[in-house]
Structure 1
Amino acid sequence: MLIINGKIFTMTGKPVDCGYIRTEGKVITEVGTMSSLDKRQKGEEVLDVDGAWVLPGLIEAHAHIGISEEKWGAIGDDCNELTNPVTPALRAIDAVNAMDPAFHDAIKAGITSVMTGPGSSNVVGGQFVFMKTQGRCVDNMAILNPAAMKAALGENPKTTYGEQGNCPATRMGEAALLRRTLLEAVQYQKDKERGRLDREDFEKEPWMPVLQRVIPMKVHAHRADDILTAIRIAKEFNIDITIDHGTEAHLIVDEVKASGFPVIVGTDLTSRSKLEVQNMNFKTNKILAEAGVLIAVTTDHPVALIQYLPLCAGLAVKEGLPMEEGLKAITINPAKICRVEQRVGSLEAGKDADIAIFTGNPMEVFTKTLYTIIDGEIIYNGMKDEENSEFVPGGSRKDAQKTAAGENE
Structure 2
Amino acid sequence: MLIIKNATIHTMANENFQNGMVLIEDGKIISVGSNFEAPKTAQVIDAHGGFLMPGMIDAHCHVGMWENAMGFEGSDGNEAVDPVTPHLRAIDAINPVDKCFREALEAGITTVATGPGSANVIGGTFVTMKTHGRRIDDMIIDPCTAMKVAFGENPKRVYNSQKKSPSTRMATAAILREHLIKAKNYVEKQEKALENKEKAPEYDMKLEALAKVIRREIPLKAHAHRADDILTAVRISKEFNVEISLEHCTEGHLIADYLKEENLKAIIVGPTLSDRSKIELQNLTFETPSLLNKAGLKVAIMTDHPVIPLQYLPICAALAAREGMDEEEALRSITINAAKALSIDNKVGSIEPGKNADIVIYNGHPFDLRNKVKFVMINGQVIKNEL
1:219 aligns with 2:217: no
Q: CA deviation at 1:160?
A: 0.1
1:310 aligns with 2:339: no
Q: CA deviation at 1:63?
A: 0.2
Aligned-partner Cα distance in 1 for 2:71–2:368: 31
Give CA-to-partner distance per residue, 1:357-382, whole Å, 9 cap, x none: 11111122111001110010111234
Aligned-partner Cα distance in 2 for 1:140–1:199: 33
Q: CA deviation at 1:145?
A: 1.5
1:202 aligns with 2:202: no
Aligned-partner Cα distance in 2 for 1:41–1:348: 22
Match in the other structure for 2:81: 83
1:148 to 146, 149, 154: 146
Aligned-partner Cα distance in 2 for 1:39–1:80: 50
Q: Which amino acid aligns with 2:364?
A: G
SS in 1 for 2:354: coil
Percent identical residues: 47
Q: CA deviation at 1:198?
A: 4.8
1:371 aligns with 2:380: no
Give CA-to-partner distance per residue, 1:203-255, whole Å, 9 cap, x none: 11112221122211100000000000000000000011111000000001111
Match in the other structure for 2:292: 288
Is the Cα–Cα contact under 8 Å of residues 260 and 293 in structure 1 kept in the other structure? no
Alignment of 1:104-119 (within 5 A): 104-119=102-117
Q: CA deviation at 1:37?
A: 2.0
Query: Which stretch of structure 1 is more off in the superposition, 355-364 or 196-205?
Result: 196-205
Structure 2 unaligned regions, length at least 5: 194-198
Give CA-to-partner distance per residue, 1:271-315, whole Å, 9 cap, x none: 100000010000000010011112100110000110100000000
Match in the other structure for 2:28: 27
CA RMSD across the alignment: 0.9
Q: Which amino acid aligns with 1:184?
A: K
Match in the other structure for 1:256: 259
Q: Which amino acid aligns with 1:26?
A: G
Q: Which amino acid aligns with 2:36?
A: L
Aligned-partner Cα distance in 2 for 1:75–1:297: 29
1:37 aligns with 2:36: yes
SS in 2 for 1:204: helix
Give CA-to-partner distance per residue, 1:120-142, whole Å, 9 cap, x none: 00000000000000001111110
Match in the other structure for 1:402: none
SS in 2 for 1:129: strand
Structure 1 unaligned regions, length at least 5: 384-409
TM-score of the superposed pair, with normalisation by structure 1: 0.92
Aligned-partner Cα distance in 2 for 1:72–1:45: 42
Is the Cα–Cα contact under 8 Å of residues 372 and 380 in structure 1 kept in the other structure? yes
Aligned-partner Cα distance in 2 for 1:363–1:133: 22
Q: Which amino acid aligns with 2:53?
A: L
Match in the other structure for 2:196: none
Match in the other structure for 1:129: 127
TM-score of the superposed pair, with normalisation by structure 2: 0.97
Match in the other structure for 2:60: 62
Aligned-partner Cα distance in 2 for 1:39–1:276: 54
Q: Which amino acid aligns with 1:14?
A: E
Aligned-partner Cα distance in 1 for 2:367–2:214: 37
Aligned-partner Cα distance in 2 for 1:359–1:268: 26
Alignment of 1:397-408 (within 5 A): none
Aligned-partner Cα distance in 1 for 2:229–2:332: 27
Compared CA separation, residues 260 and 198, structure 1 to 2 (3 A): closer
Is the Cα–Cα contact under 8 Å of residues 87 and 203 in structure 1 kept in the other structure? yes
Is the Cα–Cα contact under 8 Å of residues 6 and 20 in structure 2 kept in the other structure? yes
Q: Which amino acid aligns with 1:54?
A: L
Query: Which stretch of structure 1 is more off in the superposition, 150-159 or 361-370?
Result: 361-370
Aligned-partner Cα distance in 2 for 1:201–1:284: 40
Aligned-partner Cα distance in 2 for 1:382–1:111: 17
Match in the other structure for 1:388: none
Aligned-partner Cα distance in 2 for 1:326–1:382: 26
SS in 1 for 2:206: coil
Alignment of 1:379-398 (within 5 A): 379-383=383-387
Compared CA separation, residues 169 and 377, structure 1 to 2 (3 A): same
Is the Cα–Cα contact under 8 Å of residues 189 and 201 in structure 2 kept in the other structure? no
Aligned-partner Cα distance in 2 for 1:231–1:382: 46
Aligned-partner Cα distance in 1 for 2:8–2:260: 34
Match in the other structure for 2:242: 239
**Aligned residue pair count:** 380
Q: Which amino acid aligns with 1:341?
A: D
